[in-house]
Structure 1
Amino acid sequence: MRAFQVLPDAQPAAIRTVDTPEPKEGEVRLEIGACGLNFADLLMIKGEYQDTPEPPFTLGMEVAGTIEACGPGVDKALLGRRVAVFGGQGGLADYGCFPADRCVTLPDAMPFTDAAAFQVAYGTSHVALDHKARLQPGETLLVLGAAGGVGLTAVEIGKQMGATVIACARGADKLAVAEKAGADHLIDAKTEDIRERCKALGGLDVVYDPVGGDQFKSAFRACNPEARILAIGFASGEVPQIPANHLLVKNISVLGLYWGGYLKFRPQVISDSLATLFGWYADGKLKPHVSHTLPLEQTLDGLELLRTRKSTGKVVITP
């Protein structure tokens, strides 16, 4: 089978022909229908992600497909079931083996491209806004990077939870995508003063930040007392240094979130969240935005779209 692999000794990541894996105890093998790309994939290629495996390994954190083989201890009744799974790796291939207990059965009407774009982005935003920040109806939420893979889902989920949503992104085209997802107010990070616009809108109760850098600093200065800032990632390349004395004066909380980490120490948080999210999808309340769908041979092109921020929502690879 084909697999897009990160190779040892600083060799370029590439498609290789490898043996089709056999499922181990507690695993299923999927015929992979689609795999969503994430910013973390770029970090894994450079060895900079917190859960980077030792190379060689097959890239691809989240997949959707059909169960076509079961390992020892797995109910054979699962054969033929359409599922999504967050495996952390192994998704950019024709087939992959994943833990059976991480598989989520898909709604009948959900295509693989939607399913592969769903778990990490929507899961991150829902756990962040609901479990961590306890976002309340009527509060004001600022979403930085609002047209990106996770940012766009934060706009959707923020509106679903009853917040007033301010979307911040670079350029009119990206802001139009965020507005379509439900944003109430738009800020162009290229040309506008984030702090002044947010203060003019009454200040911020919750900040969702996958960007870091100067945008974090501007949002921080526009926070209301008892605001919660969600540190999701640092796409700008700059990790903010937070002045603790300012946190104290305004009673501000900064909350870190690594969604995949919950699988290790509190998996029920993720399973409960995904049950809510897949229910919302089945009810037509969520609409994943996939800006590019590419074949496996164009995986490098898809990763470049993420690196240069030329995509909106998600990029999906279909083996």
Structure 2
Amino acid sequence: MQAIVIERLDGPDAAVVRDVPEPGHHHHRAGGVRVVVEVRAVGLSVIDVLQSRGRYQYGTPTPYVLGSEIAGVVVEADPASGFAVGDRVGSIVFWGGMAERAVVAPDYTAKLPDDMSFVQGAAVYLNYSTAWFALHRSGVRPGGTVLVHGAAGGVGTALLDLADAFGVRAIAVVSSDDKAELARRAGAHEVIRSDGPWKDDVLRLTDGHGVDAVLDPVGGDRFTDSLRALRTGGMLVVIGFAGGSIPEVRVNRLLLRNLSVTGISMDTMDAEYPGTLRMVRDAVQDLMAAGRIHPVVGRVFPFVEAAEAMRLIESRDALGKVVVTGP
């Protein structure tokens, strides 16, 4: 079968079309349960770029098949999986998705509504499971306010979309007019610019109190001002480091204003608290079924242009989710 293979850790330029064997195994996170999906669309993210350069903490040796998230149709399923042949699904696969068929893990797989396209389906589960878990871990209550960094990206737009489901007001931080427009369409209640006095803007929009939670997939040099933008007792949720650098925190800032900082990793949480992954999966699946999830797809590329899709993500010019159609 055809697949896009990363043959060396040289970034997007290493992505090439190759014939590879059919998947004859189960997914490495499936606990021995085999589910095979015919791939119709693949969602790419910063994970794929980091893996292709050997910088992702859960990476895999080369050569490997590109593609961290897929949407498609189940063509083989063990009875214990909870899925059946013909089910339309979206799944996080980490790698191995950009091929004609891929194996998936049930805990990382959700059923798609009939009225959701496969391109949309490839833009749901990775971003929305991350966004749902971040909002859940933030502890923000209905009526509260959150600040969303990287608000025009895949996770950022998912956070904005889920704000109403959590009953919170979302302030989006973006870097351009195009991204500001997209953030508003995704559900932002207020939009501010990262190239302006955004911390002061946050305080102005919250009557000087600050936000209840900062949701940050970017990291970098804005971290300290993110703490300053929190209200007393607020929480900063570390989602990732799309900005490229990992910030450090002076803990006296936490002590003086009773602030909290937490990271999110569903995998490690599930290892200590079994059932976490299914809780998140079920929450996202229920929201999809209720029509409360509206994924933002910025660009769709054909299969043979997977490398170009990755370059767009690496440039940080992508708006919403970048999706590649199946072979």
Give the TM-score band, short-chain normalised.
over 0.9
Contact 2:147 2:214 (C-alpha < 8 Å) held by counterparts: yes
Question: 1:60 aligns to what?
Answer: 67
Instruction: Call closer, same or farther: CA 1:81–1:288 in 2, change over 3 Å.
Output: same
* Candidates 149, 152, 166, aligned match of 2:154: 149
Question: 1:197 aligns to what?
Answer: 201
Question: 1:109 aligns to what?
Answer: 115
1:39-118 aligned within 5 A: 39-70=46-77, 78-100=84-106, 102-118=108-124
Instruction: Call closer, same or farther: CA 1:75–1:263 in 2, change over 3 Å.
Output: closer
Distance 2:249 2:301 in 1: 39
Instruction: Call closer, same or farther: CA 1:285–1:75 in 2, change over 3 Å.
Output: closer
Instruction: Call closer, same or farther: CA 1:263–1:269 in 2, change over 3 Å.
Output: closer
Question: 1:183 aligns to what?
Answer: 188
Distance 1:177 1:55 in 2: 36
- 1:75 Cα offset (Å): 7.3
Q: Deviations over 1:290-315 (max 9, x none)?
A: 01111211111111111112221101
2:170 aligned with 1:168, yes or no?
Answer: no
Distance 1:194 1:278 in 2: 34
SS of 2:104's equivalent?
strand
Instruction: Call closer, same or farther: CA 1:148–1:101 in 2, change over 3 Å.
Output: closer
Contact 2:108 2:281 (C-alpha < 8 Å) held by counterparts: no
Question: 1:289 aligns to what?
Answer: 296
2:236 aligned with 1:234, yes or no?
Answer: no
Question: 1:134 aligns to what?
Answer: 139
Distance 2:179 2:83 in 1: 44
SS of 1:78's equivalent?
coil
* Candidates 275, 288, 300, aligned match of 1:268: 275
Distance 2:135 2:77 in 1: 36
Instruction: Call closer, same or farther: CA 1:263–1:58 in 2, change over 3 Å.
Output: farther
- 1:9 Cα offset (Å): 7.0
Distance 1:251 1:222 in 2: 13
Question: 2:284 aligns to what?
Answer: 277
Contact 1:27 1:74 (C-alpha < 8 Å) held by counterparts: no
Instruction: Call closer, same or farther: CA 1:152–1:267 in 2, change over 3 Å.
Output: farther
Question: 2:29 aligns to what?
Answer: none
Instruction: Call closer, same or farther: CA 1:89–1:263 in 2, change over 3 Å.
Output: farther
Instruction: Call closer, same or farther: CA 1:124–1:245 in 2, change over 3 Å.
Output: same
Question: 1:27 aligns to what?
Answer: 34
Distance 1:242 1:106 in 2: 40
Contact 1:36 1:314 (C-alpha < 8 Å) held by counterparts: yes
Counterpart AA for 1:242: V
CA RMSD across the alignment = 2.1
Instruction: Call closer, same or farther: CA 1:154–1:13 in 2, change over 3 Å.
Output: same
Output the TM-score relative to the length of structure 2. Answer: 0.90
**Structure 2 unaligned regions, length at least 5:** 27-31
Contact 1:23 1:69 (C-alpha < 8 Å) held by counterparts: no
- The percent of aligned pairs where both chains have the same amino acid is 32
SS of 1:36's equivalent?
strand
Distance 2:215 2:178 in 1: 21
Counterpart AA for 1:103: T
SS of 2:17's equivalent?
strand
- 1:76 Cα offset (Å): 11
Contact 1:21 1:96 (C-alpha < 8 Å) held by counterparts: yes
Counterpart AA for 1:193: P
Instruction: Call closer, same or farther: CA 1:245–1:75 in 2, change over 3 Å.
Output: closer
Distance 2:273 2:46 in 1: 24
Distance 1:18 1:265 in 2: 36
Length, aligned pairs only: 316
Between 1:113-122 and 1:18-27, the stretch displaced more is 18-27
Which structure 1 residue ranges, 4+ long, deviate > 6 Å from structure 2?
A: none
Counterpart AA for 2:212: D
Between 1:275-284 and 1:56-65, the stretch displaced more is 275-284
**Structure 1 unaligned regions, length at least 5:** none
